[in-house]
Structure formats: structure tokens, C-alpha cells
A and B are shown apart, each in its own frame.
Chain A
């Protein structure tokens, strides 16, 4: 029985991979940017153009090109970036750690703080604490990330404001220089994340908190905060972990495209943004396909692990 479930999940994952790679192939490769005219010289003859097209593989039939694309994904070999003239894999190994360092503190703080705020809001449900937290959350989710970035830059990085941190860039050699460059990006992402996260966590924690065992524990005289932190938190952990794991691939691979290009931080996000604007296809291809494949992979693995841990879980 379980074997059949795993097989079904596995096949489901394979079909998803097929769909995702097909969509990205059609959008980015088949109809993607055409490099022919960037590579031919001046006044090209029709033969020159045909030669270049042949070299780039544009004259191959649809499915051959799709299979080539699949081979690139499976071997994780996307060739050379046309803009940097460097192997895509080496660009990635250079930029991925930077993205990780930039987005990790924001990710951790954004989630920990919003879980704490959500607990506080549920604990004082309907009281002024709850209202203040929720108004703050609505503000956080209403303000665009770009506005927050600009505002924090004005406040913390310019001579108009406090001028505590560098305006942009990434010149990290020690822990103190890391703190110098990471603080403002982190503050901005945390501010925006607090809005959505707090609302989400508040709704699941409130659901759990209104269950009967909480009332029973309360009646037995267990300290309210102990109920909240020990029992309610433990029971909501599954939902919270799932959410965290699902956002992980986007965090680690796409990084924060907007934040990095705004602060001119040489992470994966900025590299991808530049690749998008210059039409550097190998990088964009690598980015999108790796993110999606890892996402689908995690999707399937989580389902199977949850099923192993808790047999009541089934395909949603």
C-alpha cells in the first residue's frame, strides 16, 4: 500500500518536472533571446547567419532542442555565459555563498520574530496587543519592498539620514564588515516579511489555540505561556516547517533578486537580473531550471517523509 503511494508521488514528481522543464524551455529557449545577430559580424551573408544558427543549434527540431536542454539540466552543465565568458557553474559557485549570506539573517529573523509576534497576538487575542500587532502586519504587507529599500537607504545610508552604513556594495572580509553590509538589506527584508508571516502564523496558531486540549490544560492550571510555547508551538511545528522548507529553494537559489540588484551585491539574484537584461541565456536557464527542479524535488521528498512520519498524510 505504502509502496503504491510512494510510486504515485514519484510519478507525480516526474510529470511535474516534465511540465516545468517544458514551460521553461518554450519560454526561455525556444522563444527566448536570439543570439544570432550578437555573434555575426557586420553585413553578414545568409550563409554566415545560417552557420551561426547551426552552431547555436537553432536549426534543430523542437524535440531535439528540448532533449538537449534536459541533458544540460541533468548534467548541470549549462556551458559558458555569453556575457562573462566564464563557465556558468563557476559563476554560481562564486555568487551562491554571497546570496546565502545576504538572505539568511533576513530569513531567520523574519520568521522567528513573526512567530513570536503571532504568539503574542494570539495570547492577547482581541486585546490591544493583538490589534497593534495586526495593524503593524497590515502595514508591513501593504508597503512595497522597493519603498522600504529606498526609505531604509535614505534613513541609514545617506547624509540626509543617519549615514551609519555604506550606501551599497559588498566588500566583506571580516565579520564586522559583513555586519556593515548586511544590516540594511536584512532590516528591509525582515520589515516586509513580518507583514505576511505574522498574519499567516497568527491564523494557524489561533486555530491551534482554540482547540479543546488547550482549555483542558488551562483548567488544570498549567501556566498559559507554557501551554503556548510547549504544546501549541509543538503542534503547529509541522505547518510552520512545511512553509519554511517550501520557501527555502527560492531563498537559496533565486536569492533576493530585488534586494541584491538594489544594493549592488554580487549574488545570484543580481547576476540573474543582469543576465535577464543582457540576454545572457545560459545563466537564466541554469537559474530557472535549478530552482524549479529543486522545488519539485523538495515537494516530492517532503510528502514522502511526512507520510513516513505520519501515515495519515495523503496526497492533497
Chain B
């Protein structure tokens, strides 16, 4: 704790940054996440991974070689290129789902907390309870029925279930903050409720929002793999989940190219992101409950 006291004049963000910089494991995991992010950008710019759908190997199921680092699949497509391309898909899903669901959860949660006890709060709590009660996979399946043959259903389902946890945390935070003096002062000066929520409560919960985004990001990537595996996730494309789904029928015959590459790529990213998320929690809010 002594090092924290040395930086008394620094802002919360500067202190957090200083704490984060001392966390070697956190820095390493952040570096790994960044490498993946750069790969995703390169794929987006079509510099790498654009040949994921090309049939390069007439044989199929070639073992790993100099040319095909992870071998080829049943159709003779390069497994390594497909895994690289899937990095972009994972980031697309992760970023879209985590940003939108945390945004929705933060706004609704802070409104519920600020007006706690009111009809609005009761309604939001009721909505949270309803979504919690419906089995997640079946909820997604039901939405895919309504919007077949598009990835939109997966996004909608992941966001519809993803905002609830953020909403609950934010509600608890807002209930705490609304009795603080700075909120009372803002109210005394004639600020509107909306302005108090947007200008005073939300900025104070920024660390929590950042943490929630990382948690949601990992959750979305894992959920995408699960849904694609079940055939209700990514459609007309490739992702680690789809590669794993292809692997289920191959591994009994001893073809492990798809399995090894997809699980290696996915596991390294998720574990790095989880460790980065932990490090971020320790840095931003040492008292945050893991």
C-alpha cells in the first residue's frame, strides 16, 4: 500500500496505470491480446488470411508441413489460414457484443440505480429476472429461428443476454453514488436527473465499465464457439467454433489438424484476455470482487 500513498497527487487513472505497469503477467497477457488484435486488423485489411476459402491441396488432410503449418482439412483448405482468418471473426463478435451490451447495461443499470425503488427500477429488475430464467442456449436457438441464415440472430441473442450482468453491477454502483455529496451538490445546483446520470454517475463508474467490457468480450468469444459448434452461431463463414465442429467428425479417424489449430488459437487468446482482465481489475479497483 505504501507505493499508492506515494502517488497521492496523481489521478485515479494514473495510479491504476502505474499499478498495471508493475504487473508483469498482466503486461505479458496484454501483449498477447495486442498481437491477436493486430492479426485481426491485418485480416480486415486483407493483408493476411484472405485465402481461407481456397482449395489449395488436392489431397486433403495433409499433415503439417512447411507449406501448410497446421496441415489441410477435408476439402484441402489450409487450416492455418482459416485459423488466422477466424481471429478477425472472434474480434468482430467480441467487440460488437461487448461494446453494445455494456453500453446498454451501463445506461439502463445506472438509470435503475439512480431511480431505485421507482416503477422504472422495478420494471428493469423484472426484465433482468425474466432473461435470467430462460435457458441461454434455447433463447439463442429461438432467436435463430426467427432470423435464419444470418449472423444477426447470434449477435442479438448474445447482446440480449449479455447486458444483464453489467446492468446489475451498474445499478448497485449507482445506488451507492446517488447518496454521495457530489450528486447532492449537482442536484442542488439544479441539474436534471439525466444530466446527473450522464455527467456525474457514469464517469465515476468508468473503471467498472472497462472491466465489464473485457469480461463480456471473453464471454462473447466463448459463446460464439459454443453456438457455432451447435450450428446456430456463425453462418456462411468460418470461425474457431466451426473448425471445432468440423473436428468432431474427424478426430475419431485421427485427423487432428482442425482441432489442434482452432483450440490452440482460441485457448491462447481467451487465457491471455482473462489474465489481462484480472490484471485490469487489480489495477483499476483493488477491492473489486473477482
Query: Chain A: residues with CB nearer than 8 A to chain B?
Result: 15-16, 19-20, 23-24, 27-28, 31-33, 138-139, 141-147, 150-151, 153-154, 158-160, 167, 199, 203, 250, 254, 257-258, 261-262, 272-273, 276-277, 279, 284, 287-288, 291-292, 295-296, 299
Contact = CB atoms under 8 A, between A and B. Distances in A.
Given A138-B274, A139-B271, A154-B256, A28 B142 contact: yes
Given A28-B145, A203-B290, A254-B138, A20 B244 contact: no
- What are the nearest 4 A-B pairs in CB distance? A142-B271, A19-B130, A27-B142, A147-B263
Interface in B65-108: none
9 contacts: A144-B244, A144-B266, A147-B267, A199-B290, A257-B137, A258-B226, A292-B135, A296-B129, A299-B129
Of B133, B225, B247, B256, which is in contact with the most chain A CB atoms at under 10 Å from its CB?
B133
B133 A150 contact: no
Classify chain B's interface size: 35 or more
Contact of B247 (A28, A141, A150): A150
B134 A144 contact: no
B127 interface: yes
A16 B138 contact: no
B43 interface: no
Given A138-B274, A153-B251, A16 B126 contact: yes
B231 interface: yes
B126 A19 contact: yes
A272 B129 CA distance: 23
Contacts of B145: 27-28, 31-33, 279
B143 interface: yes
A150 B259 contact: yes
A150 B263 CA distance: 10
A154 B132 CA distance: 35
A295 B290 CA distance: 25
B135 A250 contact: yes
A299 B230 CA distance: 29
Contact of B271 (A24, A138, A151, A296): A138
B135 A23 contact: no
Contact of A146 (B137, B138, B229): B229
Contact of A276 (B138, B247, B259): B138
Given A138-B278, A146-B225, A146-B244, A272 B138 contact: yes
A142 B214 CA distance: 13
Given A150-B259, A153-B251, A160-B254, A24 B226 contact: no
A291 B274 contact: no
A143 B218 CA distance: 11
Contacts of B225: 144, 146
A277 B138 CA distance: 11
Interface of B: 126-127, 129-135, 137-139, 141-143, 145-146, 218, 222, 225-226, 229-232, 241, 244, 247-248, 251-252, 254, 256, 259, 263, 266-267, 270-271, 274-275, 278, 289-290
A116 B141 CA distance: 36
A27 B143 contact: yes
Contact of B139 (A27, A32, A33, A279): A27
A32 B139 CA distance: 12
B227 to A, nearest CB: 10
B212 to A, nearest CB: 17
B254 to A, nearest CB: 5
B142 A32 contact: yes
A27 B129 CA distance: 17
B142 A261 contact: no
A146 B241 contact: yes
A272 B278 CA distance: 36
Given A27-B143, A203-B289, A158 B252 contact: yes
A288 B138 CA distance: 7
B135 A16 contact: no
B226 A146 contact: yes
A138 B130 contact: no
Contacts of A261: 230
Given A20-B133, A144-B267, 20 more contacts: A16-B129, A19-B126, A23-B130, A24-B134, A24-B142, A32-B142, A138-B271, A143-B270, A144-B226, A146-B241, A150-B251, A154-B256, A158-B252, A199-B290, A250-B135, A258-B229, A258-B230, A261-B230, A284-B142, A288-B142
